[in-house]
Structure 1
Amino acid sequence: MRFSDYIVFVDESGDHGMDSIDDGYPLFVLSCCLISKRDYMSTVVPAMQQLKFSTFGHDAVILHEREIRKDLGPFSVLREPNRKQAFIQALTDVLDRTPMTVFSAVIDKRQLAEHRRREENPYELSLRFCLERIFYSLRRLGQTSDAEGPVLTHVLCESRGRNEDADLELAFRRICGGDNFGNIHLPFEPVLTDKKNNSIGLQLADLVARPIGLKQLRPSQSNRAWDVIERKLDRDPLGRYIGYGLKCFP
C-alpha cells in the first residue's frame, strides 16, 4: 500500500458533549484541512514559521485561536491594538495564501436535542460527513486507489486524553469500515497527536474552526477569517459548497 500525496488535519470548536449546551456558543464545529504534502513542506510550514519568527522571535509558539482572541500566554504581546491588528492581518494573509481545501461540519446542539437525537455524538456525526466528502475529493484526484490497491491518507487529529482518544479511534475505524453514506471502505488512517507537538497543520485546522461556527451563529457579524475560508471550501461543479465543503446539521 502506498501513501497518498495528501494529508488531512482535523480540529474542532465548541464542546461535543450533549449534557450541557452553552447558549452563547451552542455549536460543535469540526474542521478538516486537506493539503498536498508538497505544498505543506514547501509553502505552508515556511510561511507560518516566518510569521512566528517575525512576531515572537522564535517558532515554538503554538497558534491557538482562543489564546489569540483573548491575548493569553505568549499572545499577551498582542495587547497593544496596533500590534494585534498587524498580526491578525498577517495571519489572515497566510491563511489566504495557504493552498488547502476545507471540509467542515457544524452541529447545532440545540436542534439536535429538539429532534430528540441527544444520544447522538456530534463529533462522530461531523467526522462521518467530513471523511465522506474528503474521500470523494481524493478520489477525483486519483488518490484513493491504484493498480496495487488502496492508497492510504493519514488524518491527524488532536489527542484529547486516553478515553476520548479511544472513543475517537473506534468511531473513526467504524466510519472507515463502512458506516458511511456509501457503505464503502475509506482508506484513511487516524493519527492522534498532542497539540504540543507544534503541528502547523493542526494549528491551521484550529484557526479555521471557530470562524466557520460564528458565520452560522451570527451571519451578519463581520468575519474576516470566514471571507478567506469560504473561498477554500470544497465545492460541486457549479461552485456550491453547502453539502460539499460545509454541512450544517440538523
Structure 2
Amino acid sequence: MQFSDYIVYVDESGDHDLANVSPNYPVFVLAFCIFEKEAYVTRTVPNFQRLKFRWFGHDTIVFHEREIRKQLAPFKFLQNQEKRGQFIAEMNELIQEAEFTVIAAVINKERLKGRYKDPGNPYEIALQFCMERLYRYLNDNRQTDKMTHCILERRGKKEDASIELEFRRICDRGNFAGIHMDCLDIQFQEKAANSCGLQISDLIARPIGLAEIRPDQRNRAFEIVEQKFRRGANGRVTGYGLKIFP
C-alpha cells in the first residue's frame, strides 16, 4: 500500500482516571493534528525550528505545554512578563499560520460516570470518536486507499500496548460504521525525538479542554485552534472536528 499525503500527530490533555476526577480539570481530551506532508516539511517544521533558534539559539528544545505554562526549565525566562508576552505571541502566530486540521474529542468524566453504569475508558472512547472522523476526512480527500500513520508519544510499554490493541480493534470494524480501516497505522515515538507535530498537538490539547470547562473565559489559544477544526459542508464543527461526550 502506498503512503498517503497526510501524517497525523496525536496527544492528550488530562487523564483517563474515573476514580479520582479533578474538579479543576474534569475532562479528558484527545487531539489529532492532521498535516499535509508537503506543507509540513516545507513550511511548518522550518518555521518551528526558526522560532527555537530565535529564542534558544538551537533547535533541540522540546516544547511541552505544561512546562511552558508553569514556566519550568528551560522556560524559566517566561517569568519575565515582557518576554512571556512576546514568546507566547510568536508561538501563537506560528500555530495560527501552520497548515493543519484538528479532530478532537472531549470526554467529560463526571457526566460520563453519572450517565453510564459501565462508563468505559475515556481514552478508548475518545480514540474511537477521533479515528472515525479521521477516516471520513481521509475519505473526503481520497486517501483511504493509502496508508496514513498516526504518531503518538511513547508513554510506557504496558500503556502503549493497550492503546495499540484498542487502535487495531477500532480499525478492524470496531467502529460505529463497521468499516475496516486498513488505511490507518499507529506508531509510537520517544519524547526525545523532538517531533514538531507532536509538540504542536501537545500545545493545542489543553486549550480545547479549557474551552469546555470554562466556556465564558477568554481563551486566545482556543480561538486559534478553533479555526483549525474539521468542518462539515455547512461549516459546523461539532460532530465533525470536535466531539463532546456525553
Short-chain TM bin: over 0.9
User: What does residue 220 of structure 1 align with?
Assistant: 216
Instruction: Tell me the distance in 2 between the aligned counterparts of 1:9 and 1:202.
Output: 5
Three-state SS of the structure 2 residue aligned to 1:17 is coil
Instruction: Tell me the distance in 2 between the aligned counterparts of 1:70 and 1:204.
Output: 17
* Residues 118 and 195 of structure 1: CA distance in aligned 2, closer, same or farther (over 3 Å): farther
User: What does residue 89 of structure 1 align with?
Assistant: 89
Instruction: Tell me the distance in 2 between the aligned counterparts of 1:55 and 1:30.
Output: 29
AA partner of residue 223 (structure 1): N
User: What does residue 206 of structure 2 align with?
Assistant: 210
Note if contact 1:112-1:118 (Cα within 8 Å) is conserved in structure 2.
no
* TM-score between both structures, scaled by the size of structure 1: 0.96
In the alignment, structure 1 residue 193 sits paired with structure 2 residue 215: no
User: What does residue 109 of structure 1 align with?
Assistant: 109
For residues 51-109 of structure 1, give each alpha carbon's deviation from its aligned partner in whole angstroms, at most 9, with x where no partner exists.
11111111111110011001001001221100001000000000100100000000000
Runs of 4+ in 1 over 4 A off after TM superposition: none
Note if contact 2:112-2:119 (Cα within 8 Å) is conserved in structure 1.
no
For residues 211-234 of structure 1, give each alpha carbon's deviation from its aligned partner in whole angstroms, at most 9, with x where no partner exists.
000001001111101111101100
* Residues 80 and 122 of structure 1: CA distance in aligned 2, closer, same or farther (over 3 Å): same
- Give the C-alpha shift of residue 194 in structure 1: 1.4
Three-state SS of the structure 2 residue aligned to 1:185 is coil
Note if contact 1:132-1:180 (Cα within 8 Å) is conserved in structure 2.
yes
Instruction: Tell me the distance in 2 between the aligned counterparts of 1:165 and 1:136.
Output: 25
* RMSD of equivalent CA atoms: 0.9
For residues 15-58 of structure 1, give each alpha carbon's deviation from its aligned partner in whole angstroms, at most 9, with x where no partner exists.
11212111110100000000011011001101111111111111
Instruction: Tell me the distance in 2 between the aligned counterparts of 1:136 and 1:208.
Output: 22
State the number of aligned residues: 245
* Residues 235 and 211 of structure 1: CA distance in aligned 2, closer, same or farther (over 3 Å): same
Instruction: Tell me the distance in 1 between the aligned counterparts of 2:175 and 2:190.
Output: 27
**Unaligned regions of 5+ residues in structure 2, if any?**
none
Note if contact 1:8-1:156 (Cα within 8 Å) is conserved in structure 2.
yes
Q: Which of residues 232, 238, 242 in structure 2 aligns to 1:242?
A: 238
**Unaligned regions of 5+ residues in structure 1, if any?**
146-150
AA partner of residue 31 (structure 2): S
Three-state SS of the structure 2 residue aligned to 1:21 is coil
For residues 177-222 of structure 1, give each alpha carbon's deviation from its aligned partner in whole angstroms, at most 9, with x where no partner exists.
1100110111111001112211100001001100000001001111
- Give the C-alpha shift of residue 117 in structure 1: 4.6
User: What does residue 122 of structure 1 align with?
Assistant: 122
Aligned counterparts, 1:30-109, within 5 A:
30-109=30-109
In the alignment, structure 1 residue 166 sits paired with structure 2 residue 178: no
* TM-score between both structures, scaled by the size of structure 2: 0.98
Percent of aligned pairs with the same amino acid: 47
- Give the C-alpha shift of residue 116 in structure 1: 2.8
Three-state SS of the structure 2 residue aligned to 1:12 is strand
User: What does residue 177 of structure 1 align with?
Assistant: 172
For residues 128-166 of structure 1, give each alpha carbon's deviation from its aligned partner in whole angstroms, at most 9, with x where no partner exists.
011111111111111111xxxxx1100001111011001
AA partner of residue 109 (structure 1): K
- Give the C-alpha shift of residue 8 in structure 1: 0.2
Note if contact 1:107-1:249 (Cα within 8 Å) is conserved in structure 2.
yes
